[in-house]
Amino acid sequence: MDWHLLGLSFLTVFLSELGDKSQLAAVALSSRCQSPRAVFFGTAAALLLTSCLGALTGGAVAELLPTRSLKAIAAAGFAILALRLLFFHGEAPE
């Protein structure tokens, strides 16, 4: 097992998930229910499932397309998002 990759992916997901909407929803849900442990296991299972689906999908796409093409597609996607944020200020497209 590549421990460096394991640690890097854990750290990346951990930092990106801190304070996001799903964490705030879990806090709100656990404050209203009688079993915070059930909320913990439910949210942990959901994060594991979505991460597993993302890793499996990414692996399958990486088998089909070369790395250079994937990086170009990702760069174009981020550029489009950046331009929309800069020029449309979150307005819904018509």
Please state the domain extents for the chain: 3-65
The reported pLDDT for the residue numbered 92 is: 58
Torsion of CA 7, 61, 65, 62, to 10 degrees: 20
Give the pLDDT confidence score for residue 94 in this predicted structure. Answer: 56
pTM of the full structure: 0.61
What pLDDT shows up at residue 80?
95
pLDDT tens sequence for the chain (94 residues) = 889 988 998 888 888 877 778 888 888 888 888 888 898 899 889 988 998 999 999 889 989 999 899 899 999 999 999 999 898 875 555 5
Predicted local distance difference test score (pLDDT) of residue 4: 92
